[in-house]
Each structure stands twice: as structure tokens, then as C-alpha cells.
Amino acid sequence: MSSQLAAKLREGTKKPHSTAENTGFVLCLIKGVVEPISLRKFVSYQYFVYSALEQNLEKHRDHPVVGPMYFPELNRTANLQKDLAYYYGENWRDQITPSEYCDTFVARIHTVSVTHPELLVAHAYTRYLGDLSGGQAFRKIFRNALNLPEDQGTKFYEFDEITDIQGFKGRYREALDSLVVSDEMADKIVAEANESFYLSRSLFKGLEVDLIKVIGQAEFDRIASETHLGSTETVGARS
């Protein structure tokens, strides 16, 4: 019997999903307003978050709920390392530091890994389906805005082991629906996905300072006032 977890997650996260997307930083990205300093910080924060997520997904790969949602072909850590080497140079490890919002996000992932590993599914869902959907649009935006060299700077959004993104997204949702979870646990996973979106929103908000320094408060406010009605699971590619 299907748990219908995929539909529950999609419907149950609409509000925080929209809230995260309508931060000024993300709205600027959607408009093609990409500032290099805040962008490379964004990439570094993703590195910290995904390193924590993938470390814990690997740790629980034999867990009855987490295991079926562990897809190594989704792993982003190695690709993020390549992007960081491009943006910061080979000594990138010495130049990046997490923000307090990033630390909070990472701590949350480690905490649920210890207390309720099932909730890692929520973080994987919010991160990876977004990367496979709206993330593909962001890849094009970044490349155009920064005139990036071929095969440089956007490895984060490139899934070399997935040739059919739409088909994979369908299989991912089928895997969610095949999970054997109680209604109570399904509700907890949806709630944790909401928390993941709010943590992302805080991460984005923290990146706005550098962006405002470059484009100015007035221009930032103008762009930030234009509410985006889409979602990162529907922008660019949708099954």
C-alpha cells in the first residue's frame, strides 16, 4: 500500500516552500541579478549542509526508511568541492566559514540523524528535488550572469550519473510512496521538510548583506517586492 508520502510532502510544504523562494536573495537570482561574493558564499554554505546530509544518509543507508531514499548518484559534496576550487582557488578549505544560519542548519541535520533518522528523508527531499527542478534553471542563470567558462562554476547543479532527470524524479517519488511509515511518522517527515525550508530561508536571508552592498538597497527592495509564484520543484523542469 502506498504511503502517498510524495503527495503529502508536496502539498504540506507549499507555504514554507514559497516563503523560502520569496526571500530577496532568491528573487534576485531568479531575475538574473547574481553578485559573485554572495554567490560563492552561497556555494560554500551548500557545501556545509550537503556534507552533513550526505554523511548521515550514508551512515543510515541500512535503515529501513532512510535506506530506500539513499541514492548515491544524487550526492553533491564532490561537485561542490569542484565549484569551491573554481570560486576560491585550490586552498578553498582555508577560506570558507559557515554562517550562524549555516551552523544551525547543519546542527539540525546531525540532531535528527541521532534522534529520528527517518527525518533525514525530509531534508533529502527538499534539497535534491529542488536541485533537480528549479536548480536546473539557476544553473543557466548563473552561467549567463557570470559568463562562466564551460564546465566551471555550476557543478552543484550537474548530475552526470542521471541521464533522464524527469524519469528519475518520478522514481524518487515512487520510492517515497513505497516507504513503510505510520501516518504519525509521515506527518513528522512533512513537518521536518517545513523546517528544512525555513532553515533555507534563514540561510538565504543571511546572504543579502553582500548583495545589497553591490546593487543598492533601493534596487534590492524593488526586486524583493516582486513576489514569485512558482516553486523550485516546478521552475525549469516539471514532471
Q: 3-state secondary structure string, 115-161?
A: HCHHHHHHHHHHHHHHHHCHHHHHHHHHHHHHCCCCCCCCHHHCCCC
The pLDDT score that the predictor gives to residue 236 is 35
Work out the number of other CB atoms within 10 angstroms of the CB of residue 77. Answer: 17
pLDDT at 231 > cutoff 50: no
Q: What are phi and psi of 29, to 5 degrees?
A: -60, -45
* Per-residue confidence band for 3, with pLDDT thresholds at 50, 70 and 90: confident
- Cβ contact 220:115 at 8 Å: no
Note the pLDDT of residue 237: 34
* pLDDT score for 228: 64
Residues of the domain holding 138: 5-224
pLDDT value for 2: 59
Identify the residue with better confidence: 232 or 175. 175
238 lies in a domain? Answer: no
Q: Which residue has the cell 527517518?
A: 118
Mean pLDDT of 113-133: 97
The percent of residues above 90 in pLDDT, for the chain, comes to: 91
- Residue 195: what pLDDT? 98
Q: Is residue 233 part of a domain?
A: no
Q: How many CB atoms lie within 10 A of CB 18?
A: 16
Task: Report the mean per-residue pLDDT for the chain.
Answer: 93
CA 185/CA 175 separation, integer angstroms = 16
Question: Is residue 207 a part of any domain in this protein?
Answer: yes
151-167 confidence digits (pLDDT tens)? 999 999 999 999 999 99
Residue 227 pLDDT level (bands cut at 50, 70, 90): confident
Query: Contact, 60 vs 115, CB < 8 A?
Result: no
Show the 3-state SS of the chain.
CCCCHHHHHHHHCHHHHHHHHCCHHHHHHHCCCCCHHHHHHHHHHHHHHHHHHHHHHHHCCCCCCCHHHCCHHHCCHHHHHHHHHHHHCCCHHHCCCCCHHHHHHHHHHHHHHHHCHHHHHHHHHHHHHHHHCHHHHHHHHHHHHHCCCCCCCCHHHCCCCCCCHHHHHHHHHHHHHHCCCCHHHHHHHHHHHHHHHHHHHHHHHCCHHHHHHHHCHHHHHHHHCCCCCCCCCCCCCCC
Q: How far is CA 203 from the centre of its chain?
A: 11
In this structure, is residue 211 part of a structural domain? Answer: yes
Q: How sure is the predictor about 234, in pLDDT bands with cuts at 50, 70 and 90?
A: very low
Indicate which CATH number applies to the domain containing 46. Answer: 1.20.910.10
pLDDT at 229: 54
d(CA 39, CA 35): 6
Query: Is pLDDT above 90 for 81?
Result: yes
Which percentage of the chain shows pLDDT scores above 70?
94
pLDDT band at 226 (very low <50, low <70, confident <90, very high): confident
- Per the structure, the count of domains in the chain is 1
Q: Is residue 234 part of a domain?
A: no
For the stretch 213-225, pLDDT in tens is: 999 999 999 999 9
Domain assignment present for residue 231? The answer is: no
Question: In this predicted model, what pLDDT tens digit does every residue of 28-77 receive, in sequence order?
Answer: 999 999 999 999 999 999 999 999 999 999 999 999 999 999 999 999 99
Which whole number is the average pLDDT over 168-197? 97
**Euclidean distance between CA atoms 95 and 222, whole angstroms:** 32
Residue 229 lies in a domain: no
Residue 198, in any domain of the structure: yes
